[in-house]
């Protein structure tokens, strides 16, 4: 049992009317019915791709022990340093709302003994994440992702497969103008040499960098490379590239990946500045962008040390995630046609009087079983008010049940455009309606 809120707080709010309407928390938007059709489509496509490639779905808790992200996401990452919603439970546990999915899925992998399963283990998840960001277009404090992880195989073919399947989800959603950007950030053998060279390179230019990058110089120098500030662009121009320092293993890994991408005919580019924000990446990092709006839709990479950091055996892995809100924005802008399940354009059911009201709900169930979508406003009593509502909802056909019809087990079918009416028996209403309104059968 959780503890009760403190009595003093409860007393304070008792019987007190609010002077202002409470708003949704900043950066945590409501998901409204107008977006639902797009989100359902995205959900469906992600699940279809997960099924096809054999990914098992995991539903994760919204909060995890803060330690999981300190060690997993990494203490020097932007997410841990500035973006976590952390809190202490009444019992004294230190938790954080999940800012990403990868460490959490690795926790499941270790905690549930998935390392005993045949490798690679493929996991998939879908849900909301929380990062304390400055809200702006495409960037929220609560946002959704779908995420795929392939655990237990270090072959670059799985880097390519991950990129391909993420690309497929976007392609299946008919999102055009996609570009895969790839890079390698090496491993513990070769990256320290690159990092040292970056330190040397930026040392004399430190004062010219933006204030964020001056901080990054100390604790996360790689991130200077993907800083978006105008001021830093010319300074980074001649910065050392990882590709010039790769060890033999990392070089051949990257070469193989590029060959796979060629073979798959994916549109890709090498971006030497791409490093991604998380501490755990090794070798491959990638993003998929929509080039029209220059929006990053998908981010991912290989993370061969993470399972070990979290207490498991050395286990190579690769994964990626796509942000749902950005997809919704694109689908909405392009007015991509998806199935319209909205309440508009439906057959409208009107009931008049007590007797009909009693039968109305049952009639709705009969229609549902016959796969006929209906709309209603049962709370309105008059014929005029209900017809007005039908008109607002663009219903081309209306069913009217009054006292007499309720007793006779019939209903009036009315074509709103022509005004023509016909009496239909409820017993075979499904068949009767199907003759009249083929378009309304789902
Ligand atoms: P990340 O988890 O940072 O690798 O990001 C993967 C993808 O999630 C990005 O390409 C975006 O599409 C999306 N994303 C990341 N952060 C946010 C955010 N704050 N708001 C909305 N979408 C986000």
In tens, the pLDDT along 245-279 reads: 999 999 999 999 999 999 999 999 999 999 987 77
**Which of 39, 104, 143 for a ligand 1 pocket mutation test, highest count of atoms within 8 Å of Cβ?**
143
CA of 322 to the centre of ligand 1 (A): 7
Give nearest CA residue, ligand 1 atom 8: 323
CA of 298 to the centre of ligand 1 (A): 7
263 & 400 share domain: no
**Contact 433 CB / ligand 1 (< 6 Å):** no
CATH number of the domain to which 319 belongs? 3.30.930.10
- Please indicate, yes or no, if residue 22 is contained in any of the structural domains: no
Domain boundary among 333, 360, 381: 333
pLDDT band at 339 (very low <50, low <70, confident <90, very high): very low
Predicted TM-score (pTM) of the model is 0.86
**Contact 131 CB / ligand 1 (< 6 Å):** yes
Give nearest CA residue, ligand 1 atom 1: 299
- Please indicate, yes or no, if residue 442 is contained in any of the structural domains: no
Res 442: pLDDT: 40
- 3-class secondary structure per residue, the chain: CCCCCCHHHHHHHCCCCCCCCCCCCCCCCCCCHHHHHHHHHHHHHHHHHHHHCCCEECCCCCEEEHHHHHHHHHCCCHHHHHCCCEEECCCCCEEEECCCCHHHHHHHHHHCCHHHCCCCEEEEEEEEEECCCCCECCECCEEEEEEEEEECCCCHHHHHHHHHHHHHHHHHCCCCCEEEEEEECCCCCCHHHHHHHHHHHHHCCHHHCCHHHHHHHHHCHHHHCCCCCHHHHHHHCCCCCHHHCCCHHHHHHHHHHHHHHHHHCCCEEECCCCCCCCCCCEEEEEEEEECCCCEEEEEEEECCCHHHHCCCCCCCEEEEEEEHHHHHHHHHHCCCCCCCCCCCCCEEEEECCHHHHHHHHHHHHHHHHCCECEEECCCCCCHHHHHHHHHHCCCCEEEEECHHHHHHCEEEEEECCCCCEEEEEHHHHHHHHHHHCHHHEC
**Contact 299 CB / ligand 1 (< 6 Å):** yes
**Contact 145 CB / ligand 1 (< 6 Å):** yes
Res 374: pLDDT: 87
**Contact 140 CB / ligand 1 (< 6 Å):** yes
156 & 113 share domain: yes
Q: Is the pLDDT of residue 1 over 50?
A: no
285 & 362 share domain: no
Lowest mean pLDDT among 52-66, 105-119, 313-327, 425-439: 425-439
- Please indicate, yes or no, if residue 218 is contained in any of the structural domains: no
**Contact 296 CB / ligand 1 (< 6 Å):** yes
267 & 412 share domain: no
Domain range spanning residue 421?
347-436
310 & 363 share domain: no
CA of 354 to the centre of ligand 1 (A): 53
432 & 305 share domain: no
**Contact 321 CB / ligand 1 (< 6 Å):** yes
Point out the ligand 1 atom lying closest to the alpha carbon of residue 288. Answer: 10
């Amino acid at each position: 049992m959780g503890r009760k809120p403190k009595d003093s707080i409860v007393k304070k709010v008792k019987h007190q009317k609010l002077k202002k309407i409470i708003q949704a928390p900043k950066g945590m938007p409501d998901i409204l019915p107008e977006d639902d059709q797009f989100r359902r489509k995205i959900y469906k496509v992600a699940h279809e791709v997960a099924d096809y490639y054999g990914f098992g779905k995991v539903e994760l808790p919204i909060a995890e022990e803060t330690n999981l992200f300190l060690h997993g996401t990494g203490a020097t990452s932007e997410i841990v340093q500035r973006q976590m919603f952390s809190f202490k439970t009444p019992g004294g546990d230190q938790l954080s709302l999940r800012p990403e999915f990868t460490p959490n899925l690795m926790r499941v992998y270790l905690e549930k003994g998935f390392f005993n399963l045949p490798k690679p283990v493929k996991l998939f998840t879908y849900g909301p994440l929380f990062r304390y960001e400055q809200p702006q277009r495409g960037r929220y404090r609560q946002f959704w992702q779908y995420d795929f992880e392939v655990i237990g195989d270090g072959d670059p073919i799985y880097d390519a497969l991950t990129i391909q399947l993420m690309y497929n989800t976007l392609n299946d959603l008919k999102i055009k103008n996609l570009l895969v950007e790839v890079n390698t950030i090496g491993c513990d053998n070769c990256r320290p040499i690159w990092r040292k060279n970056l330190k040397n390179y930026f040392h004399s230019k430190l004062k010219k960098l933006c204030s964020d990058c001056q901080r990054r110089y100390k604790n996360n120098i790689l991130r200077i490379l993907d800083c978006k500030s105008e001021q830093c662009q010319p300074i980074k121009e001649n910065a050392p590239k990882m590709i010039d320092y790769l060890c033999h293993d990392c070089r051949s890994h990257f070469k193989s990946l590029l060959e796979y991408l060629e073979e798959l005919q994916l549109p890709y580019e090498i971006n030497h500045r791409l490093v991604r924000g998380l501490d755990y990446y090794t070798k491959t990092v990638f993003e998929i962008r929509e080039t029209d709006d220059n929006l990053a839709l998908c981010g991912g990479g290989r993370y061969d040390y993470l399972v070990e950091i979290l207490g498991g055996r050395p286990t190579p892995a690769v994964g990626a995630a796509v942000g749902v809100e950005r997809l919704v924005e694109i689908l909405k802008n392009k007015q991509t046609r998806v199935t319209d399940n909205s309440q508009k354009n439906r057959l409208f059911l009107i009931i008049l009087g007590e007797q009909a009201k009693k039968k109305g709900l049952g009639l709705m169930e009969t229609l549902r079983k016959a796969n006929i979508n209906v709309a209603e406003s049962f709370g309105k009593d008059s014929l005029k008010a209900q017809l007005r509502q039908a008109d607002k909802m663009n219903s081309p056909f209306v069913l009217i049940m009054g006292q007499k019809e309720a007793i006779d087990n019939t209903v009036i079918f009315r074509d709103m455009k022509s005004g023509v009416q016909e009496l239909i028996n409820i017993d075979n209403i499904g068949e009767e309606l199907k003759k009249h309104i083929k378009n309304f059968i789902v």
